[in-house]
Structure 1
Amino acid sequence: MPISAQLASTAAWVLLPRTFASLVQSAGYTLVGASAARRRPGTPQFARDRRMAAAVVVLVYTGYTLYNAVSSTIFTQGNFYAVLGLPAADADARAIKHVFRQRSVLLHPDKSRDPHDAAVYAALQAVVDTLTAPVTRFAYDRFGQAALQWQGCVTEANYVVRGIMGEMVPEYAISFVVSCMLAFAGIGFPIYWRVCIVFSQFAAELYLLTHVEAQTFITANLSALYPLTVHDVISLGRRVIPTLAVACAQLAGLLSGASAPDVGTLVAEIEKNPATRAELSRRFAQTVQDIADETVTGLRAQLVPFVAKDTSGSTEKEKELLTEQLTDFLVTSRLLSASSEQSRSAATAVDS
């Protein structure tokens, strides 16, 4: 994708959700007849509705972008196999020449004086010349019609080197630099995911361009409705993959409620509702009571060896032994408490 188109696409992804989300939200409120409380800005419900409206805008723009990518790559641009009306798998030299002879009966300049027919015949002749020569067909399948204008390319290896080093590497280098600039500017998703997407696309395209079986696989599995080439798949991938990545990143942030509700707003809502305030107070008092009960129960369990024993008939020696055990218990508890306080102090000092 050219740098200007990439910047324009990024600007659209950044501005459209912010610009049209309020309009979609207002239209939705009007459609469902939302109450005045729900329409009031600053409330958690209003914030959730705004995120949902932005998500709708992102989905609609994603659908439009995908449709535009498919239509411009396939239906508008077209390819030589579609001109002949032949699937790429069946377009051998014999079938191509057979179609050409059928069309020539009506389009040949000796048969028709229409200038338009003459232009169509010349274009059809160029298509046949390209697809019946193995080297030019190899170049066209992988690099498109522009490869037919490259000078100095004679073999398949010449076309591959020219296409990768002269076209693919510079374009991805520019795309990588632009992606890093946008990431450092805080626009879109983080740089890690941008780098992963760019290098994954680069590796996939490199495989498609350098493996002969790639065209065979595409012809057998992806050309049921339209005779796709490697170049068509690469062109679609360069537009579809970034679109889906940006859309998923934006939808993830919107649908997960990335912007947490304001604490002050929540407190204000609680203060306005006496029933909610009373219920929260009751729950808080119950929680404090449960904590106190658990603390008392635990303390009693620890003191059982000392208070459960009847010392009325004990000798002086047994009483002294019980007193010594209780003293040791209290001293040990105090030391453990002091050690815990020192650990917390040290952790606080390290954090600060």
Structure 2
Amino acid sequence: MSQFLSIIGWSFLPNIATSWIQTIYYGLTIRAGDPRPQPGSPRFNHHRRNIHILVIALYLAYTIYEADYDLRRQGSFYTDLGVPFSASDRDIKSRFRRLAALHHPDKTGADAAADSAAYFIHLKAASDTLQDAAKRFAYERLGPETVAWQKCVTVRDYVARGVFSGILPHYAVAAGSIYVLGLLGYMDFGKFYRWLILLSLCVFEIQAVTRPRFPALLDGLNFLFAATASHPPYLPFQLISLARKLTITIYIALSQIGPLLKMDASPSRRSADDDNELLLQGLNRLEAITGQFDADSTRLMDMEMAPFKGDAEATANLQGKMREWLIQNTIRADPMVRDALGTSLRKRRVDVPAGAKGNR
């Protein structure tokens, strides 16, 4: 059920989170009043691509943590009894006796009798399983469901049932699903790596189930956990269960992040028609803004000239002063105009001093 909910979450949560984060990003990086990139524009698509990749990577990390947390919460027979993986039969029996003295239904009150009985039965099953060499071997590699395999007696029986009724059918269904989804056009990105991961995991699982010792990878992880004291050690069936869950999650992540990685990071080039259309739209907006500025300037000028309305002499005097101010402060102050005037005067006056700029 949790795996099904995880798949549903992968189908819509990254897109929702990407939209929210992109909106927040624009709110923090774009000043109020400045235009934001419009949906569909190259800049908008570039930002959405990068944010979506980040969201998928973070969600993948979260699903890995969640799967690991579920495994630790479920525990194992070793953690329930409080003994290490290397505990002997004598240590297991001694530990069970101490726990039985605490949790036996006869030792607890009537209110907790039902819970105590269930927990005591669980401890008894754990103790019996770990004290039987064949059952212990099967439990460590195939999980707690081996307790119900009553017809299995030897290690060969457990391994045969685990391989032919659990491992091979699981990977046959997984391979068929990948093949069918590939025919339907899904999961095209990284198809080779999907098959490689599936084959590698199948080989690893068969090797972990059939060998008397734990896999070297598991020993390395457990050594690292013990050295850092950051995580309880894994049993083979726990690592296999985690790998199966992560394989599905990684497949989904690849199907979403793959097309984004294949996209060019730079904005895509538009066609000539699109460029012309954008240019025309920009010119139209510029023309509209210019017309608005012209109307505003005319209105302001009319407001400034209102006191002189009806007085022709004052109006003419004001216009003359404005013309003189424009000539003195705008036209004559321009270096290019001054140089042009100097050149013109040099042509007219032969005796003009060298280097004159026409300002005499």
The bucket for the TM-score relative to the shorter chain is 0.5 to 0.7
1:85 to 1:145, Cα distance in 2 relative to 1, 3 A: same
State the alpha-carbon separation in 2 of the partners of residues 12 and 83 from structure 1.
32
User: Could you list the per-position Cα deviations for residues 191-231 of structure 1 after superposition, in whole angstroms to 9, with x for gaps in the alignment?
Assistant: 33322221111111111111111268735741633242110
Amino acid at match of 2:28: L
* Contact 1:58–1:251 (8 Å) recurs in 2: yes
Specify the SS of the correspondent of 1:63.
helix
Q: Which residue of 2 aligns with 1:185?
A: 184
State the alpha-carbon separation in 2 of the partners of residues 269 and 52 from structure 1.
28
2:9 matches 1:25? no
User: Could you list the per-position Cα deviations for residues 37-56 of structure 1 after superposition, in whole angstroms to 9, with x for gaps in the alignment?
Assistant: 44223322111111022123
1:153 to 1:124, Cα distance in 2 relative to 1, 3 A: same
Q: Which residue of 2 aligns with 1:41?
A: 39
Deviation at 1:11, TM superposition (A): 5.6
State the alpha-carbon separation in 1 of the partners of residues 195 and 6 from structure 2.
18
1:1-352 to 2 correspondences below 5 Å: 5=3, 12-33=9-30, 36-75=34-73, 77-89=74-86, 91-113=87-109, 114-115=112-113, 116-188=115-187, 189-214=189-214, 218=218, 221-222=221-222, 224=226, 225-247=231-253, 250-251=256-257, 253-255=259-261, 257-258=263-264, 261-264=268-271, 267=275, 271=279
* Contact 1:74–1:232 (8 Å) recurs in 2: no
* Contact 2:139–2:146 (8 Å) recurs in 1: yes
State the alpha-carbon separation in 1 of the partners of residues 275 and 51 from structure 2.
26
* Contact 1:183–1:190 (8 Å) recurs in 2: no
User: Could you list the per-position Cα deviations for residues 228-278 of structure 1 after superposition, in whole angstroms to 9, with x for gaps in the alignment?
Assistant: 21100100111123434543564454355348614228845995899xxxx
- Work out which structure has the larger RCO, using CA pairs closer than 8 Å and 6 or more positions apart in sequence: 1
Q: TM-score, normalising length from structure 1?
A: 0.67
Q: % of aligned pairs identical?
A: 32
User: Could you list the per-position Cα deviations for residues 37-81 of structure 1 after superposition, in whole angstroms to 9, with x for gaps in the alignment?
Assistant: 442233221111110221232123212211221122221x21101
Amino acid at match of 1:59: A
Deviation at 1:95, TM superposition (A): 1.4
Specify the SS of the correspondent of 2:271.
helix
Mean Cα deviation higher: 34-43 or 46-55: 34-43
Amino acid at match of 1:94: R
Q: TM-score, normalising length from structure 2?
A: 0.65
* Contact 1:108–1:117 (8 Å) recurs in 2: yes
Amino acid at match of 1:209: V
State the alpha-carbon separation in 2 of the partners of residues 30 and 228 from structure 1.
45
State the alpha-carbon separation in 2 of the partners of residues 151 and 127 from structure 1.
15
State the alpha-carbon separation in 1 of the partners of residues 13 and 81 from structure 2.
41
State the alpha-carbon separation in 2 of the partners of residues 219 and 111 from structure 1.
40
State the alpha-carbon separation in 2 of the partners of residues 14 and 45 from structure 1.
25
Mean Cα deviation higher: 48-57 or 132-141: 48-57
User: Could you list the per-position Cα deviations for residues 123-177 of structure 1 after superposition, in whole angstroms to 9, with x for gaps in the alignment?
Assistant: 2111111101101111111111111112421110111110010111111111111
State the alpha-carbon separation in 1 of the partners of residues 151 and 215 from structure 2.
24
Q: Over alpha carbons, which structure has the higher Rg?
A: 2
Query: How well do the aligned residues superpose, as a CA RMSD in angstroms?
Result: 3.1
Mean Cα deviation higher: 122-131 or 53-62: 53-62
| Count of residue pairs the alignment pairs up | 269
Structure 2: unaligned runs, 5 residues or longer: 284-360
Amino acid at match of 1:78: G
Specify the SS of the correspondent of 1:97.
helix
Structure 1: unaligned runs, 5 residues or longer: 275-352
Amino acid at match of 2:239: V
Amino acid at match of 1:24: I
State the alpha-carbon separation in 2 of the partners of residues 190 and 111 from structure 1.
59
1:36 to 1:52, Cα distance in 2 relative to 1, 3 A: farther
State the alpha-carbon separation in 1 of the partners of residues 62 and 241 from structure 2.
17
